Amino acid sequence: MTVTPSAAAGTAPLPGLAPQRPAAARTVARALRVRGPDALCAVLILAAAALWIDSVRDVEIRRITDLGLVAALPFGAFVALGMATASFALTLRHPNVSTPLAILHLVVLVVMLHGATSLIDQEPAFNVVWRHAGVTDYVMTTGMVNPDIDAYFNWPGFFILAALATRATGLESALGLSGWAPVVFELLYLPALVVIARAFTADRRLAWIAVWLFYVTNWVGQDYLSPQAMAYLLYLAMVAVILTSLSRRTAPDLAAWRERGNRLLLRLRIRRPGVALAEVEPAAPVSPAQRAALLLICVVLIAATVGSHQLTPWMMLASLLVLVGLRRSTARGLPLITLVLLVAWMTYLATAYLDGHLKPLLGQTLDVQQAVAANVSGRLQGSHGHLLVVRFRLGMTALVWILAVVGAVRATRRGASSPSHLLLALAPAMLAILQPYGGEMLMRVYLFSLPFAACYAAQALMPSPGRRAWQLPLILAAAGALLVAGFLFTRYGNERATLFTPAEVRAVDRLYAMAPPGSLLLAASPNVPWKQRHYADYRYQLLSRQLRFEGPPPSSAQLATEVARYMRRNRTGRAYLIVTRSQKVYDDVLGSQRWGSSTDIERAVGRSPRFSKVFDDRDGRIFVLRHGRRAP
């Protein structure tokens, strides 16, 4: 540590000389090109990051409860989050925000909020990640895709890329890439989010707050190693182009919109906007050749998305339709091109999936009752702690939208609303009534609306012009404390149910070692760290989806009999049943079938003479049928 002369002498600085800052602050300040208190903000945020990493590394996963990770976080982690929030609020205290400093804060925030489990988990969390690694492994091993296996192979773009990355890095499995995937994806979103926010406002502080709000309210957790995380990046990049270089923001058009808005507001008896239209930073001009090239880039982004993910291209199409249809974009041909690419893909390369699923998919279309049941009521089950987490999520979502509405009203009153952002915030909702998407559609709608809703929500947090300078930092600190605390519940609320222990992974390894290819592998519930290899070598089934019981819940003996019957009836080779810690926790936290849980199945087959236990470890057990016994 460097000691300043004045400090060494124990005297105050001489009059006329600037007060000396600590050496660390000076170094950081020079690197970030910031002066004065900004340098202290930089030191504060770096200290927060260090404290966070030091605190979170010591989390014991067995202390995580049904409320999620928050129950296991040490005190230091909360202090670190408080420091980060306060530092960000202070950074935005004056209009001339240092761009490097704002970026530093957002990067640290992303690492802290979205990388927490990367520091904690001993094994990759979330069973879907293991499945994705298995699809990648199949492509890596065979070099091809087999559309007859399942839906993943009908939209394989991401998995082919993951296979390329895995093979080129020399890793055995794509699981090796999954650890920091959430942080990497979230950081890759950052530039596009900044472009989107800057297309909303010329006020730099407002733009940074919008991006910050996106990160602290994005609890959806779709940034793990997955096609949707990649496709979302392509979606944001496409929207960034559409909102800037391919936007229609000429003065007459805006004036017409404003006039229409004024008439509507008058009709609704809302105060007529009296403040002049706030300046939106004009998009950098582009030449016809650049415009054509940007259109081509959008087509490339859309094409890659069409082949990688089922839902995102439809979100792209919805966004493009509203923007072009309402004359907010000059890319008039893009919706048609998107539609052609979608139809071509489904007609030629996804037929294997659609052959068996088109009728059920069409049957779900516009079925509002089913959409509500799958997306809302179907999720309101599980343990008391989990129900609280679900309510937190609903509350967080509602809060963002309330803030967005308040912000939209304020922006409209000031004549500063951006119709394009409003349309993009609302466009994803069109798909909510079209498809339940396995009960995940509302979450996806929220995710796709969030970058634009966050712009309006940021507007709600901005003090009115002319207010005191310290108001914004105070508002941000208060909002940040609330939202960051909520984020810990909403984002990491399922952590107990999604993480895996090394002992469980060893149990699955043992299963693969003892089961010959072609065997039927059964699990009680979906939460198993399997399929990361041998994706097509076995038949995988879940008892929670296969067994049906009418009337009252079955006795233990009845349950064992049904499991035995299923294993005999379905086997093509041998049949194995694996029950792991995570399956039981999953049922405890998220809710099980009415007729019983993984624990009930384990207890039933453990007591039954029809089964023998061939592997028994702390976190996983494997059962097979005894030879010579036949199910009745």
Applying CB under 8 A, which residues contact other proteins?
Answer: 139, 143-145, 156-158, 160-161, 163-165, 167-172, 176-177, 184, 188, 191-192, 194-195, 198, 230, 233-234, 236-238, 240-241, 244-245, 283-291, 293-294, 297, 300-301, 303-305, 307-308, 330, 349
Indicate the helix (H) or strand (E) that contains 577. strand 575-580
Task: Please check whether residue 136 is in contact with residue 160, taking contact to mean a CB–CB distance below 8 angstroms.
Answer: no
The two three-digit tokens of residue 523, written as one number? 């699990």
Q: Which residue, 195 or 461, has its beta carbon nearer to other proteins?
A: 195
Q: Which residue, 68 or 307, has its beta carbon nearer to other proteins?
A: 307
Smallest gap from residue 134 Cβ to other proteins (A) = 17
Sign of the alpha-carbon dihedral angle for 315, 321, 323, 329:
positive
DSSP 37: H
Neighbour tally for 283: CB within 10 Å:
16
Smallest gap from residue 256 Cβ to other proteins (A) = 20
Q: Which residue, 164 or 469, has its beta carbon nearer to other proteins?
A: 164
Q: Which residue, 158 or 489, has its beta carbon nearer to other proteins?
A: 158
Closest CA to 484 of 53, 116, 91: 116
Task: Please check whether residue 145 is in contact with residue 157, taking contact to mean a CB–CB distance below 8 angstroms.
Answer: no
CA–CA separation, 114 and 181 (whole Å) = 10
Q: Which residue, 80 or 536, has its beta carbon nearer to other proteins?
A: 536
Smallest gap from residue 432 Cβ to other proteins (A) = 25
Smallest gap from residue 235 Cβ to other proteins (A) = 9
CA–CA separation, 451 and 240 (whole Å) = 11
Q: Which residue, 330 or 375, has its beta carbon nearer to other proteins?
A: 330
The two three-digit tokens of residue 483, written as one number? 């939202």
DSSP 14: P
Strands 575-580 and 611-617, by their bridges, are unpaired
Q: Which residue, 177 or 427, has its beta carbon nearer to other proteins?
A: 177
Q: Which residue, 198 or 444, has its beta carbon nearer to other proteins?
A: 198
CA distances from 608 to 547, 563, 581, 603, 629 (A): 17, 11, 20, 9, 11
Residue type, 137: D
3-state per-residue secondary structure call for 73-130: CCHHHHHHHHHHHHHHHHHCCCCCCCHHHHHHHHHHHHHHHHCHHHHHCCCCCCHHHH
Smallest gap from residue 282 Cβ to other proteins (A) = 10
Q: Phi and psi dihedrals of 477, rounded to 5?
A: -65, -45
Residue type, 335: P
Angle between the N-to-C axes of helices 99-114 and 75-91, in degrees from 0 to 180, rounded to the nearest 10: 160
- Under DSSP, is residue 607 helix (H, G, I), strand (E, B) or coil? helix
CA–CA separation, 543 and 563 (whole Å) = 8
Smallest gap from residue 229 Cβ to other proteins (A) = 11
CA–CA separation, 605 and 629 (whole Å) = 14
Smallest gap from residue 329 Cβ to other proteins (A) = 13
Q: Which residue, 176 or 439, has its beta carbon nearer to other proteins?
A: 176
Q: Which residue, 349 or 503, has its beta carbon nearer to other proteins?
A: 349
- List the alpha helices (DSSP H) in 329-383: 334-348, 351-364, 368-375
Q: Which residue, 305 or 459, has its beta carbon nearer to other proteins?
A: 305
Q: Which residue, 276 or 289, has its beta carbon nearer to other proteins?
A: 289
Angle between the N-to-C axes of helices 556-570 and 598-607, in degrees from 0 to 180, rounded to the nearest 10: 90
Neighbour tally for 274: CB within 10 Å:
8
Smallest gap from residue 185 Cβ to other proteins (A) = 10
Task: Please check whether residue 24 is in contact with residue 16, taking contact to mean a CB–CB distance below 8 angstroms.
Answer: no
Smallest gap from residue 506 Cβ to other proteins (A) = 21
Smallest gap from residue 545 Cβ to other proteins (A) = 31
Smallest gap from residue 181 Cβ to other proteins (A) = 10
Smallest gap from residue 32 Cβ to other proteins (A) = 17
